[in-house]
Structure 1
Amino acid sequence: MLTFNKKEVMDSNDGRKRRKVSGFVRGCRRSVAGKMKREMSKVLRSIALDDNNHKELVQGEEDDYDCFPISFLRSDLLEPHLVVAPRYSLLREVGRGSYGVVYEAVARKTGARVAVKRLQCDAPEKVELALAEFWALTSLENRHQNVVQLEECVLQRNGLAQKMSHGNKKSKQYLRLVETSLKGERILGYSEEPCYLWFVMEFCDGGDLNQYILSRRPDPQTNRNFMRQLTSAVAFLHRNSIVHRDLKPDNILISQKSGFPILKVADFGLSKVCAGLTSKNSEEHPVAGAGGRGSVQNSTVNINKFWLSSACGSDFYMAPEVWEGHYTAKADIFALGIIIWAMIERITFIDAESKRELLGTYVRQGSEIVPVGEALLENPKMVLHIPQKARSSMSEEEKKLLHEMLAVNPQDRPDALQLEVRMDQVTCAV
């Protein structure tokens, strides 16, 4: 269970302050000017492959095990006959947090821009987050336009790299990571060896949902379009037995490559792959869903019957039952309701640590603002005032659907598949 830290936030409407209980903070976007000048346009060195993959490389499978952009490798670690041309060049750092660093990069062969995320696996909690993201993204056999696409993943240690595949039981490094996650402690004898996971993903050039919405004039048509995209993404994830558990505007990216905005649900570090669990024994487990890919696509799995127990996420989007530490995939529906409500009415608060204006709905209690889920937990009979603002473009159908998505009892909320159908009906009716 995550340790929660007290922080202070400020309501952007009236400047009032309250305590904020914040979950594990990741993905903080800030620039490191000095470092970035050194990294800009740098063609990074090649990586030698670990012992498990020497044979494949010699046999001509260089495309499967080409090098990734790792600038800090020592050249003396590279064996001359194993060096291949670098596949990516870093352009700039676009995100940094306690969880990892994200770079914008370019593929040398095609010129395509990609996002490269480097996750340092130097502690059990970081290993678990990194593996959670890896398992979630690699368990998806099909693509969805509203879920960020993983192109490839590399496990790197001491200058040796190995392309990761789902459930790679032949990789000693991979098994070490799994063991670290299971035991919750460092594996003796390996604490001095730096280990990283590198994710290469599609690059989203439109920033996150906060930046996109708040930098433009209100547009009901854009809101409805985004509502459909978001519900479609969550339905896709739930059909594939993935509970995101940290849905928030920061983790929803925008791609504008097609000429119009496409939302991409990203950041799966807190996600849970529920395939392989049973309804009788569905307590959260560090390696749930780490098995074969076929199990994730089992259409008979009802993700809403699996109970999870780690109280994680970001407090302004957490469902009442998450605060108690006993919840199902319906918690994602609640978080989605908060996001959509805030997006339609442009309800925001200022995060005192980052000084950023963030989309998020809350309840006023005297001079404080309280997350909706926390307020409902304290007072389950509380009636939410949707919409909050007297002059709102929200339709009656949208009001009704938001009330259902934010129901205090998860059983009263629609599941993701029902929500996808309902959202299409509601937005088309408008």
Structure 2
Amino acid sequence: MSDLPLSPGTCLGNYHVVRAVGKGEFGMLYESRKGRESFTLRGKKVDEQWAVDNEISMMNGLPQHTHVSTFVDSVAHGNAIYFVLEDCNIGTLNDFLIKEKPPEQFLHSLMFDMAKGVLHLHRNKIVHRDLNPNNVLLSAGRHRPICKISNLSLAQYGNCYNQLDTVPNVLDITTHADLYLFLTTRCSDKYWPPEIKDHGDSFRFASDIFSLGLIFLSMVSLIVKYDKYLSKDMIYPPTVKKSSGVTPLFLCSLQDVKEMVASIVASAAVQDLVCGMLHPTHGKRPQAGQLVAAMKTFVAPDRSIPIGFIVLLSLAVLLIVVIVTWKLTFDY
């Protein structure tokens, strides 16, 4: 990122910075405007060109979805490239959770949003590979914030058999030793799946499911620590304490996972689902479609009144007023 944050009023092409709204995994987030429209700017260092190219390629070929941030444009400024995204000015899921500390029942709806976003990626043969609360953005909804999966810098194409295959990969981890070092040294104890342990293993769609399970669990446990790399407070997944020391869940047995989940999550239905997502064996984790179907059974629907119903009700009230007025006038 640029050494100095962008000040309100700074112009990046046709986009005018309004304010900073947070910090993501790769850079700062800003609310911006172009005319009357609002957008979110997210920066990346120019020396991370592989990440810029990868994300632009992925987003350009991805159909739009309510729960995946929409790529609009990119603008160069200083030593950074800024992605112009749809308006997500609430910021990151990480920052929102730390600030608001919502109850578990509310979190179920956010979980459902993310599951639907991941399903959209998987249906389009995209393995995200970097799911964490800093790579989920929030936009204002009618009744609550809406989660949107973001940052496809590390994403790869996969196939329907839950393996990466010969579909052209924009990003090939084998040609980026610095990327493998980044994954294994900084992220392995946070939101990465067991597959990261083996340098020869590959990422799968099931890898995203494991990471999503850790996000769900972290949302409820809300363990906050200061991250020196990002210079901000971060939500960390819970760990298991053993005689040998503290062990991250991706290194734990299924029994350890079940005991940890049961101690944190109140809902029995969510416990079962999260334990399945965190299964050490990738082939035994639910697929994204199964995850979404299961969550429909316990996520409370948003109580919104359809616009069509409101219009019909308004017309009915207006008609009653006209009839009553006419009748009173006639009787008089």
Normalized against structure 1, the TM-score is what? 0.58
Conserved 8 A contact 1:31-1:95: no
Structure 2: give runs of 5+ residues left out of the alignment.
173-178, 302-332
Conserved 8 A contact 1:41-1:91: yes
Structure 1 residues 352, 365: closer, same or farther in 2, change over 3 A?
farther
- Tell me, yes or no, if structure 1 residue 364 matches structure 2 residue 289: no
Q: Deviations over 1:55-114 (max 9, x none)?
A: xxxxxxxxxxxxxx15xxxxxxxxxxxxxxxx221234445689455432211x22x221
Query: What is the aligned-residue identity percentage?
Result: 24
Equivalent residue for 1:334, pick from 185, 194, 210: 210
C-alpha distance in structure 1 between counterparts of 2:25 and 2:98, whole Å: 26
- Tell me, yes or no, if structure 1 residue 127 matches structure 2 residue 49: yes
- Tell me, yes or no, if structure 1 residue 149 matches structure 2 residue 33: no
Structure 1 residues 284, 408: closer, same or farther in 2, change over 3 A?
farther
Conserved 8 A contact 1:284-1:310: no
Structure 1 residues 277, 418: closer, same or farther in 2, change over 3 A?
closer
Q: CA deviation at 1:228?
A: 1.1
Conserved 8 A contact 2:224-2:234: yes
Structure 1 residues 280, 402: closer, same or farther in 2, change over 3 A?
closer
Conserved 8 A contact 1:31-1:93: no
- Tell me, yes or no, if structure 1 residue 205 matches structure 2 residue 80: no
Conserved 8 A contact 2:21-2:90: no
In the alignment, which residue of structure 2 is the partner of 1:229? 113
Equivalent residue for 1:320, pick from 194, 197, 216: 194
Structure 1 residues 106, 395: closer, same or farther in 2, change over 3 A?
same
Q: CA deviation at 1:231?
A: 0.8
C-alpha distance in structure 1 between counterparts of 2:60 and 2:300, whole Å: 34
- Tell me, yes or no, if structure 1 residue 387 matches structure 2 residue 261: yes
Conserved 8 A contact 2:29-2:91: no
Conserved 8 A contact 2:258-2:275: yes
More helix by share: 2
C-alpha distance in structure 1 between counterparts of 2:45 and 2:127, whole Å: 24
Q: CA deviation at 1:250?
A: 1.2
- Tell me, yes or no, if structure 1 residue 139 matches structure 2 residue 61: yes
Count of residues in correspondence between the two structures: 287
Conserved 8 A contact 1:339-1:361: no
Conserved 8 A contact 2:140-2:146: yes
Tell me, what secondary structure is at the counterpart of 1:127? Answer: helix
In the alignment, which residue of structure 1 is the partner of 2:318? none
Q: How does 1:203-352 map to 2 (within 5 A)?
A: 203-256=87-140, 258-274=142-158, 282=166, 285-286=169-170, 312=183, 314-315=187-188, 316-325=190-199, 326=201, 327-344=203-220, 346-352=221-227
Structure 1 residues 206, 98: closer, same or farther in 2, change over 3 A?
closer
Q: CA deviation at 1:367?
A: 8.1
Q: Deviations over 1:319-369 (max 9, x none)?
A: 11122141311010001111112223x241413523514142222234843
Tell me, what secondary structure is at the counterpart of 2:148? Answer: strand
